[in-house]
A and B are shown apart, each in its own frame.
Chain A
Amino acid sequence: MIRLSLLQLRAQAITAAVAVSAFAVLLAATGPHLASMYAASGLHGCRPANCSQLASNFLQQVDSTGPYATVSPLSIALIAFTPAVIGLFWGAPLIARELETGTFDLAWSQSVTRTRWLAVKLAVGGLAAMTITEALSLLFTWWAAPLNRAVGQGGSGNSLAMNQFNPLAFATHGITPLGYAAFAFALGVTVGAVIRHTGPAMAVTLAIFAAVQIAMPLWIRPNLLPASHTTSTITDDTPSSLRRTDSPHIITYTLAAGGLPGQPEAWIQSSGATDTKGHPVSTVLPSACSAARGSGSSEDLAKCLTSQGIRLGVTYQPASRYWPLQGAETGIFLVLSLVLIGYCFRRISRLP
């Protein structure tokens, strides 16, 4: 049964092997040079005062030389799309095509029960899916290590500088790709078993998977673990903006945290104006600060807001939450996969 599953996955396996090999070659060709650039940047063992600037310089250098600025987003796209492709081309046809073409009459009248047939096909396909996706992710993590280290040392300034909690980074590093691959595969198989036709099954699988992949970073991940709160003094470095509303005398302002001092790898979930205790306050500019506004100086504005008792409040997840969140999210997707698979087994034994 294992050999039959492999035989039936032949075409998909070849495509996957080609893609992974090409990807590995690309990364192997460009990775070492990236590492040597990092070594030459002086970031290793840099003094804390310098690190942030050196890191930003390094990132700028990488962005402007060579192919790195394309390899990175390309890799991210590949790893992000792989689970969806697996769900569509490995998962959806697994049961649906057999039902569509009538070959299930051939497959299920051999000396193997339907349960065993499905179990082995799911195991072979699911393991392969998870292995391939995770391999891509590990390759990319190895390749991007210098960049990630630079960000951890305070570097910023271009699209290569991604915080580890950035949705694209979070989805392509660590163990989350495992969970996505398993879920996409299980989803594809289940949708195929319900809809019984490959084409529509692929479309529905894609729609559901995309919806989940959007919902997770937007609404679910931020609420998986309780967030931390802190307030800090508004300085002239604090990004802010003033806005005139329709009513002539009302100006509103917004504050945003560019980062947390000393915690460059934390996840800023939200930030804004709060009082000294951390409770949000009105964002109507106090009349006392109109003069500061008029002067056009951000330092004056900052001093004025501070004197009014306004602080920058930040809701965040500390960097140490990275692995717990990775684990929780992967766990959720694995559990969902198991539930879907359980349903598949029931469905398949009822089919006439």
Chain B
Amino acid sequence: MSAVIETSGLGRQYRRKWALRDCTLAIPEGHVVGLVGPNGAGKTTLLRLAAGMLAPTCGAITVLGDRPGAGPAELAQIGFVAQDTPVYVRMTVADHLRLGGWLNPGWDDALARQRIGQLGLDSKQRAGSLSGGQRAQLALTLALAKRPGLLILDEPLASLDPLARREFLQVLMEAVAAQGLSVVLSSHLVADLQRVCDYLIVLVASRVQIAGEVSDLLDSHHRLSGPLREPRSLPASQKVITESHTDKQSRLLIRTDEPVLDPSWTVKPISLEDLVLAYMSPVGNNAPAKPQALRVVS
């Protein structure tokens, strides 16, 4: 399976601060990728680099085999919806569709009109008077109707109420099923992503903590609890992610590709949300000083 996004040592610096560094990923196509992390972790930076809206300070990134934003053909492959779904407030919904048609050679007008109709949006209404959910849907329609190979959404659900969120995801998943496109969306709410994402990237403090298929990640991480144990005494194939100890008990989160056979452990699976939290906690993520700053599961 070829990669939809491939990065190598990608980094972006603003004045003195690095918003993203040492980012090396190979995201396979045909997935819905969730990008999670706390605010300020660098999610928007990574998404904008992938969309071609930002240039890297160091390293390289290719999207669908090309440098993003290099020219019209490369721009046509990517649909981007920025945070807060910007629209032209004085232009009508119909004007926005016209804009899409004029600026995109691959524009599918029938698809755009059908979606607007399904959403029940009034073509003559100014975009500024739409509700937050309707604006998000309009922005999504514009991005989908240009028929991109990759859709990039920056916190699309953040300011939507639960019903609007559900409707947005329904429309998005239907488009993924129909058009076979890849999606990368960011959020700091894991619950939203749990339904739709089958690939996960955790970004904390401008570095990738972990990246991989959700099913592989869940299968390879286990929660162990049992009598007090020195983590170093575990087999080498078991990597400790987080640990906590009392006088008598140890609780560990480990990662391993082999079954846990030691009978002194009680082994439980981990939910996606807890997995993300573990990697987001200061104990679970890597301090910048360590050389291995990433984990990639292909």
Contact = CB atoms under 8 A, between A and B. Distances in A.
B102 A106 contact: no
Given A4-B102, A101-B86, A109 B51 contact: yes
Contacts of A11: 90
Contact of A7 (B98, B104, B139): B98
Contacts of B79: 109
Interface string A104-141: 01111111110010000000000000000000000000
A113 B71 contact: yes
A103 B86 contact: yes
Interface residues of B, number: 34
Contacts of A8: 88
Contacts of B90: 11
Interface residues on A, range: 20 to 34
A111 B103 contact: yes
Contacts of A113: 71-72, 75
B84 interface: yes
B86 A111 contact: no
B103 A1 contact: yes
Interface in B72-98: 72-73, 75-76, 78-80, 82, 84, 86-91, 95, 98
A143 B242 CA distance: 86
A107 B86 CA distance: 10
Instruction: Tell me which of A7, A109, A352 has the highest count of chain B C-beta atoms within 10 A of its own C-beta.
Output: A109
B76 A106 contact: no
A108 B53 contact: yes
B284 interface: no
B54 to A, nearest CB: 5
Contact of B54 (A7, A106, A352): A352
Nearest to B14: A352
Contacts of B162: none
A209 B117 CA distance: 48
B72 A106 contact: no
A352 B47 CA distance: 12
Given A103-B86, A108-B53, 7 more contacts: A101-B86, A102-B82, A102-B84, A106-B139, A107-B103, A110-B99, A113-B75
Interface of A: 1, 3-4, 7-8, 11, 101-103, 105-113, 116, 352
Interface of B: 14, 48, 51-54, 71-73, 75-76, 78-80, 82, 84, 86-91, 95, 98-100, 102-106, 139, 142, 146
